[in-house]
Amino acid sequence: MITFKIPKQKEIKRYATVFNVLAKYGFEDVLVNSGIAKVIPKSYLGGHPDTKKNLSLSTYERIRMVLEELGPTYVKLGQVFSNREDMLPPELVKELEKLQDHAPNLKNFDVQKAIETELNRAPSDCFQSIEPEPLAAASLAQVHRARLLNGEDVVLKIQRPHIDEVIESDLLIMKQVAKALEKHSVQAQAFQPVRIIDSFEQSIGEELQFLREMGNAEKFAKNFEGNDMIYVPKVYRKFSTNRLICMEYIDGIKVSETDQLRAVNIDPSAVAKFGVDLYLAQILEHGFFHADPHPGNIFVIPDEAQICFLDFGMMGTVLPNDKEALGDLLLYFLRKDVNKIINLLEKIAVKTDIPDQKKLEQDLYELVEGVSNTTIQNIKVGTILNRFKTVLYENKIILPHYMYMLIRGIIIIEGVGRRLDPEFNITANLEPYTSKIISKRFSLKRLFKKNFNRLQDLNNLVDTLPDDINSILKKIKDGKLVVVHEHKGLKEFQNATSKSVNRLVFAVIIAALSIGSSILVMAQMPPLINGIPLLGAIGFVLSAILGFYIVISIFRNDQF
């Protein structure tokens, strides 16, 4: 029995909004692609500047504008895909990179009431003052400055009202579109759209959990405990909930404000070096890194000459085994060992469908050769990583999502470094880590640990092997051993054979009807209509209908 799910009213409204926006920009695309724009009078365009502007935009610009107009969920989706050059055309990625996590301030937003609702007490019981105008507005939340009763300055990050309901409706639509694409588009199936939307749902769900963000900040602070070069803002849990974060206010200078840094006698090139060092430590030492290290999220505290990372909602985690694999990948690039790079990529990849192994080897060899033939001063890691992502895309290798977050993070942080110091080169920061990785690989401690783990695995195998053999023998004796064998292409062969047999049966029936009808006509078997035997005529008509049916089915399936 087929059942239909009736959408809720809020879902119907969201569908209407999505379709209206798509129709709006789709109509503009029809105008452009059909060439109608060429015959529109210039006088009309002069009186309608919006139409003139829209007609001049590319398809990728329109996609970005659609995402912006549809709101926070779609903006977030665009931001996630802005680092997926392995999946999307470079022109579209460039447009998606313009999607900044900002939004207009909420109108008539009562910050006092929102805080009272979240904390279940009057704001005056916790704060001396709360500024009604936000410091910043993002797609998911607004940030307001406040002061605690003890005089400490803090910031309050408050989720936008009903944002979870909007996201829930949007995700429902995204899932349905993803399922349709995966079912009907062979090209889309290769990218597993359902899995991508599921991953995105998990990501945005985590970002909405402010308790998790506070945990990230605390974990980040613990990782750098005792490091005087970095400062992590304090979190006030007693004034926080899952929709409200109370965090220490940082009175610092944005890392991109080089003139202000120089004005307080801070050397921007030193900030670049130490900032990138701290970021590489997040990846290669702690395996827990800031996934969005743009200039707005990195401040310099002038009094202490410390670097401070902000906004811990988007963090990447590298598993211990993968952390070692990243080190190996770096070493293999330096050694130009293409075969080991390929083996490592296949080991950590989510999916591989390499169409041509030789092409992959050639692409990677050209990449590592290009790096080795470039002087250290001219090496741009961001350019190399972008080329690396292109190689992955062209050879159908899909890595875990955190790897693309990591690549994007390194590209952004290198850009920040070059903005602070035009002569900055990230390879100088990598050198100490490569030395550490090499020394660790050949340390007695690691060799002992690795061999000890292998001995443990061998011991476990020896312990469980007799039981496994006994279990198999018992199943054989009891006749319960089942061997699963899959013959690829067998189902298609069975379908083709079945169709052929059905057509052969139809042909025999048609032949029999034709011969029988001919005999009836020749014998003038009554009843007769206008001298023609009725049964014979019916037989000929049925033969013709069945014959036409077979011919049409053959043409439809392109089987001649």
Distance in angstroms (rounded) separating the CA atoms of residues 89 and 96: 11
Q: At what angle do helices 163-184 and 9-34 cross, to 10 degrees?
A: 60
Buried/exposed 464-493: b ≥16 CB within 10 Å, e otherwise: eeeeeeeeeeeeeeeeeeeeeeeeeeeeee
Task: Decide: residue 137, CB within 10 A, 0-12 exposed, 13-18 middle, 19+ buried.
Answer: middle
CA distances from 86 to 90, 100, 197, 393, 398 (A): 9, 21, 16, 4, 7
Identified catalytic residue from 170, 292, 311, 328: 292
Distance in angstroms (rounded) separating the CA atoms of residues 136 and 95: 23
Dig out the tokens for 219 from the structure.
Answer: 């974990």
Q: Say whether 191 sits in a helix, a strand or coil.
A: coil
CB 549 within 8 A of CB 540: no
Residues in contact with 181: Cβ distance below 8 Å, sequence separation at least 6, in sequence order: 188, 189, 193
Q: What is the sign of the dihedral through the CA atoms of 22, 27, 32 and 34?
A: positive
CB 221 within 8 A of CB 232: yes
CB 389 within 8 A of CB 395: no
Distance in angstroms (rounded) separating the CA atoms of residues 179 and 202: 17
Distance in angstroms (rounded) separating the CA atoms of residues 463 and 53: 73
CB 141 within 8 A of CB 118: no
| Residue 292 is a catalytic residue | yes
One-character DSSP codes across 101-129: S--PPPTT--HHHHHHHHHTS-GGGTEEE
CB 399 within 8 A of CB 348: yes
Give residue 43's Cα distance to chain centre.
Answer: 44
Q: What is the DSSP letter of 283?
A: I
One-character DSSP codes across 323-361: HHHHHHHHHHHHHT-HHHHHHHHHHH-SEE--S-HHHHH
Element (H, E) at 145: strand 141-148
Distance in angstroms (rounded) separating the CA atoms of residues 152 and 91: 47
Distance in angstroms (rounded) separating the CA atoms of residues 424 and 407: 18
Catalytic residues: 292
